[in-house]
Chain A
Amino acid sequence: MITTKDLTKVYRTRDREVTALDGVDLHVSEGEVFGVVGQSGAGKSSLIRCVNLLERPTSGTVSVAGQELTALAGSGKRAGKELRAARGRIGMVFQHFNLLSSRSVLGNVELPLEILGYSGQERTRKARELLDLVGLADKAKAHPAQLSGGQKQRVGIARALAGDPKVLLSDEATSALDPETTRSVLQLLRDLKEQLGLTVLLITHEMDVVKAVCDSAALMKNGRITESGTVPELLATPGSELARELFPVGGVPSAPGRTVVDVTFHGATTTEPVISKLSRTYEVDISILGAAMDTVAGKQVGRMRIELPGSFEDNVVPIGFLREQGLTVDVAAVAAAARDDENTDAARGTAGLAKEGAK
């Protein structure tokens, strides 16, 4: 549904060049929610703006719903008629909502309909339908300043759906919202996707968003996509940075000379009593150092960090057993020798978290 080929974007200032996108190939299939994650400055924002050509890519192509947008763009900075029509069929929601404070909620949803040329009555009827769809029918007369953050984003979503788009772009749509509101807005996106058959491309720096709504995800670093795939695929990929970020598990070995293994459960294995089988079969004592369990795209997914006695060489067989059971197994790079460092790191991490919490 959305395909970018070798997309590059270079910002030129008087004395230097900044490469925001460095040959990005992205493919978003019809009907999926695709999340691009990465730290700020990784190029996510440039990427999503290149998809509807709010930013002109320096080179490369963008196709949406079978139409090559980069071919529609004129040479100048101004968007031609065809490009504007194509944009009308792509919805976009923004981190800071970008609602007009000069218009009522209804007026904000009517704006894209005015651009699309709907007549007055038709416009109001359709805008009311859209507000109903996002659960804000009773706020039509209110002004954006009177709404909460979550309500504002719902208006933003209703507005983005005005052109009956097949594709919705979400630029950090929940980053300005609290966790509770984030959940309800994500749930709305998920529902709308099912209901309207939308394809959603979202960018975010929050792993929770990916966990909550994404079918597929990609990791962006320094203008490049370093990992990409469906969430189960990523979880099944040994050494996947995304999988580790999605399900971070902590814990350090209790004594030197032990082996620490990160195990990822997905699909059928989640219901199998794998750990107790391992313990019984090989008569090993297993300590669980940390674990995380969640539902991703409707499926139970978990990660666990376990500790086996003895060195890696002593544990080749049990690890092999785990792999045979269909689990993804990574030997964690935490050695007991590094334990003191780990502690300091963990302490630092805790302090950092405490600080985050204080915000």
Chain B
Amino acid sequence: MTWSEIQPLLFQGFWDTLYMVGWSALIALAGGLPLGVLLVLTDKGGMLQNAPVNKVVGAVVNVGRSLPFIILLIALIPFTRFVVGQSVGSTAAIVPLAIGAIPFFARLVETAVREVDRGLVEAVQAMGGGTPTVVFKALLPQALPSLVAGLTTTVIVLIGYSAMAGTVGGGGLGSVAVQYGYQRFETSVMLATVVALIVIVTAVQIIGDAVVRLLAAGRGGAGGDGGASRRLARLGRGRTVAVAAAVVVPLALIGYGIGQGGEDKQTLRIAASPTPHAEILEYVQKHLAAKEGLKLDVRKFNDYVVPNTATESGEVDANFFQHKPYLDDFNKKQHTDIRPVVNVELEPLGLYSKKEQSLKDIGDGDTVAVPNDSTNEGRSLHLLAKHGLIELKPGAGQEATLGDIADTNGLKFKELEAAAVPRALDDVDAAVINGNYAVDADLNPAKDALVAEQAKGNPYANFLAVKDGKQHDPRIEKLAKLLNSQQVKKFIEHKYQGAIEPVFGSVGS
């Protein structure tokens, strides 16, 4: 990609990251500060010593800290929808980010407050001060430099967490790096985003350190020389600047966030996987939609669950990323009513090898990598079985697993995340790779695959899907028509060179 293509990605990613991190850091501050103080106060020997409260708060904080962020992100979806009214997008990502950061920051607050000399607490108590006085006049002001340092650390951790926001369509630099760099092998984009992230993290650290230094210096070093008062006055100004910055920056972010809201009701919102679905939709959006009076808002997701739940809840109007077996399974397990509208394309699964030239060279003792998710793995095993590499047990369904193999013919298997399979190609004898990932890895299904799935009658064609009842929305009908147009057919054939095949028409049951 060229710089002019990368630049808008970076810019949007940068703002999304700032927006998500800024808000979640503010919420973490508001939530973590009281929790941390409470942990100190209720601890043994504390002013509000209360073992049950201390244990419960401590346990909640520990649970919050031990959950992997990606789990939290998914687990909180219903809660997120309840709080911000949607479960996808940057705003929705703020909820899990903040909830992940609150316990983290709370522990840092606890440590910072604990460091305050107990003698100061005693002094305030001896003056007749109660617990609130001790907290607000002694503990927090004394711990302020450590608290700022803790907040800096929290913001940096949040920047790291926000890379996973792509799962719920939150965008941000991290998800740009994953989408383009990892999944699409756009090394230049990955490098650019990584550099941008390094710059942001470094800047945050420098600002945080500077504020800490200013606060510490405002308390006067040892020894007051002649220029002490002048120096103090200058430092006092510095502190004002620091505080002003601490107020203005989040406000600016909030302002930005409000500016992001508000969208046209007529715009059709579609959730899609970045490649090729979002690219096809973007082609339609750019070249065809305007003539039909259709406005599209294409939202990219790295995840296969959220686009469906968002469609079910009405946060998006349609999605385009899945095939029939996956949707049937999803509808059954999640009790959703999502219906296919029209087939668009097939990403044929292919068997690739860098070591062997043809199918018959693969046999006893060779290792084959297959995707590890239920549909892709079943699909891979069926492909291998069809070509005689393995034998499946009778009745093995579309979600066959390694356990359904009757005879491996001496093959060994390695199960990997679908997107990671192409990367493993050098380490195994052969690998079953999804069409889209194969293209991203510069493999051409038409030329490079030892064998590939047939387009005709293939149940794995990807389609446009909507919540039941929306099939006849005129906007959906227009989009369906455009997706099955000659222009799109040409676009797919030209762009993907056989890696992805246009498969149009209604979806078979």
Contacts and interface: CB of A to CB of B under 8 A. Distances in A.
Contacts of A111: 124, 127, 137
Contacts of A146: 220-224, 228
A79 interface: yes
A102 interface: yes
A333 to B, nearest CB: 42
Given A77-B47, A98-B117, A100-B138, A88 B127 contact: yes
Nearest to B127: A112
A90 to B, nearest CB: 7
Interface centre among A77, A163, A169 (most CB of B within 10 A): A77
A143 B220 contact: yes
Given A77-B49, A94-B119, A94-B123, A142 B220 contact: yes
A85 interface: yes
A272 to B, nearest CB: 47
B144 interface: yes
A141 interface: yes
Contact of B141 (A90, A100, A116): A100
B128 A88 contact: yes
B453 to A, nearest CB: 69
A338 interface: no
A145 B231 CA distance: 14
A27 to B, nearest CB: 22
B52 to A, nearest CB: 15
A84 B129 contact: yes
B221 A84 contact: no
Residue in A79, A85, A116, A159 with the greatest tally of chain B CB atoms within 10 Å? A79
Nearest to B130: A84
Q: Which of B119, B124, B127, B219 has the most CB of A within 10 A?
A: B127
B126 A102 contact: no
Contacts of B48: 77-78
B32 to A, nearest CB: 20
B43 to A, nearest CB: 12
B131 interface: yes
A126 interface: no
B232 interface: yes
A102 B144 contact: yes
B408 interface: no
Interface in A70-125: 77-79, 81, 84-88, 90, 92, 94, 96, 98-103, 111-112, 114-116
B224 A116 contact: no
Interface residues of A, number: 37
Nearest to B48: A78
A115 B133 contact: yes
Interface in A157-193: 159, 162-163, 169
18 contacts: A52-B126, A54-B125, A77-B47, A78-B47, A84-B129, A87-B125, A94-B123, A100-B141, A102-B144, A112-B128, A115-B128, A141-B229, A143-B220, A144-B219, A146-B223, A159-B127, A162-B127, A169-B126
Interface in B207-261: 218-224, 228-229, 232
Given A146-B222, A146-B223, A98 B120 contact: yes
Nearest to B218: A143
Contacts of B137: 100, 111, 114-115
A169 B122 CA distance: 13
B224 A87 contact: no
Contacts of A77: 47-49
Interface in B127-147: 127-131, 133, 137-138, 141-142, 144
Contact of B127 (A99, A141, A163): A163
Across chains A and B, which 4 residue pairs bring their CB atoms closest together, nearest first?
A143-B220, A88-B128, A146-B224, A98-B123
B285 to A, nearest CB: 56
A327 to B, nearest CB: 44
A225 to B, nearest CB: 23
Contact of B222 (A86, A145, A162): A145
A114 B136 CA distance: 12
B123 A92 contact: yes
A15 to B, nearest CB: 15
Interface in A37-90: 52, 54, 77-79, 81, 84-88, 90
A89 B49 CA distance: 26
B133 A145 contact: no
Contacts of B138: 100
Interface in B26-57: 47-49
A115 B133 CA distance: 8
A127 B128 CA distance: 17
B143 to A, nearest CB: 9
Nearest to A87: B128
A81 to B, nearest CB: 8
A102 to B, nearest CB: 4
Given A141-B229, A142-B224, A143-B219, A85 B120 contact: no
Contact of A100 (B120, B131, B220, B222): B120
Q: Which of A86, A94, A101, A111 has the most chain B CB within a 10 Å cutoff?
A: A101
A54 B219 contact: no
A101 B125 contact: no
Contacts of B129: 84, 115
A157 B129 CA distance: 17
A279 to B, nearest CB: 56
A320 to B, nearest CB: 52
Given A101-B219, A111-B127, A142-B220, A96 B141 contact: no
A24 B49 CA distance: 28
Given A77-B49, A78-B130, A87-B128, 19 more contacts: A78-B131, A79-B125, A87-B127, A90-B126, A98-B119, A98-B120, A100-B120, A102-B141, A111-B124, A111-B127, A112-B127, A112-B128, A114-B137, A143-B232, A145-B219, A147-B224, A159-B123, A162-B127, A163-B127
